[in-house]
Every structure is written in C-alpha cells, then in structure tokens.
Amino acid sequence: MDFLRNLFSQTLGLGTQKERLLDNLTLEGVAHYMLSERCRRVICLVGAGISTSAGIPDFRSPSTGLYANLQKYNLPYPEAIFEIGYFKKHPEAFFALAKELYPGQFKPTLCHYFIRLLKEKGLLLRCYTQNIDTLERVAGLEPEDLVEAHGTFYTSHCISPLCRQEYTLSWMKEKIFSEVTPKCEKCESVVKPDIVFFGENLPARFFSCIQSDFLKVDLLIIMGTSLQGCGLAG
C-alpha cells in the first residue's frame, strides 16, 4: 500500500499543490477532463464489482459474496479455497467452485465495454484487473492492454516445479466439467489454472508494467474494488 500511495503521490500529484485538473469532483467533471487535450492516457484498476451484474459474485459482500457462500465445501475458513497450501492438499474444493464460476458462462458488463471504448478512443494505457473471469478479454481487450494481477484461467500449468507443463483453456475446461481433478499428463501432479492464490507471487508483468505505466498516466479510474486483500493494494 505504501508503494502505491507514494507512486500515486508522485505521478498524479496527490497531496501537492499542482494544477487543478478537474473542474469539479463529479462524473461530469471527469468526463469534461477526459475530453480535454490534457487527458491522453487512462489506467483502469478493476475488481469483482464490475462483474457482479454479469452474475458473478464478488468476494466480500456479507450475504451474497463468494466467501459467505462456501459452507458446502467444508473449508477450515473461506479464504482457504484460494490458498496454495490448502489447494495442494485438497484441490477438489477449488475445482468444484471453478465449475460454477468457469469463464465462458458469463457475458461482459457495461463496465467492461466502457474499458473497451477507452481503448477504441485511443485513451486506454492499461487495464489492471483483479478478476480471473476473463471478461475483459471477451469484451475485446488484447493481452497487451491487460495486466491480470491475479492471473487468469486462460492458461494452466502443472504445479510440480520440475515439470511445469502448460495446458490450454479447453483442456482445463474439459477436466473441470468432467468433475475430474486435472492431473498432468507427464508427471501426474495436479494442474492449476494460472490464477494467483494466496501464498503465490503476483505475475512478473504486474511489476514491470506498474513501474512504467504510472509515470505516464493522466487519469486513474478505479471500479469495482475496495483494493483490500489484493496485490493492487500492495
């Protein structure tokens, strides 16, 4: 969090007496700024809230969130379903949940298409997403437009450090919907989608992009995330 706070302060002028960019702190003020010559590069930071209207639950809402509805998996605590240590011992719970949430069953929302519109207008510098639902890709963003901070279902790898065989989205989908724990065809270890579990490092692309992108950005838009418990918050 300190890293992002300092980065925003330096690059966006937070906490300084720099020139006032917005006529007023409203959507109209933001829209007016985006139409000006001063706004050429926009970064979006997005989380689960932009996908809830597509039918995908967020994580932390008290009654409807994902963590509040995991009783059937008999977890020691809700977050365990996304912990790498627990996954290695009990992968079945995650794959049962993955069948319910698997990409391809949901359609992008207005928020996703808004981000694509920014791209079409030549304004989008990057979209940093906490989401693993791939709806940014479905909406039309290319891999270069994205930093999938929590990884993606798009590819999968064997978890054995001596193997690391890669598998496709279609291969993983077939296993999950057959209710078979995906096992590596080379070494028989479990195969995990390339999403970031608690206890794993964020993708290298996150660190390489964030250092350069935030030195260029004119406008930062945060949608659908509290930035709690995530790599985007530190």
Which of 32, 90, 112, 150 is catalytic? The answer is: 150
Distance between CA atoms of residues 230 and 79, nearest Å: 12
Binding site residue list for Zn(2+): 158, 163, 184, 187
Handedness of CA 135, 57, 196, 175 (dihedral sign): negative
Query: Dihedrals φ, ψ of 105, to 5°?
Result: -95, -5
- Please confirm, yes or no, whether 90 is among the known catalytic residues: no
Report the distance separating Cα 160 and Cα 3, nearest Å.
Answer: 32
Give the bridge partners for 220, in sequence order.
Answer: 43
Distance of CA 126 to the CA centre of its chain: 13
Q: 192: helix, coil or strand?
A: strand
Rounded Cα distance between 207 and 226, Å, is 20
Annotated binding residues? 158, 163, 184, 187
The three-state DSSP-derived secondary structure of 64-80 is CCHHHHCHHHCCCCHHH
Q: What is the C-alpha to C-alpha distance for residues 80 and 63, in angstroms, rounded to an integer?
A: 18
Would you name the residues annotated as active-site residues? 150
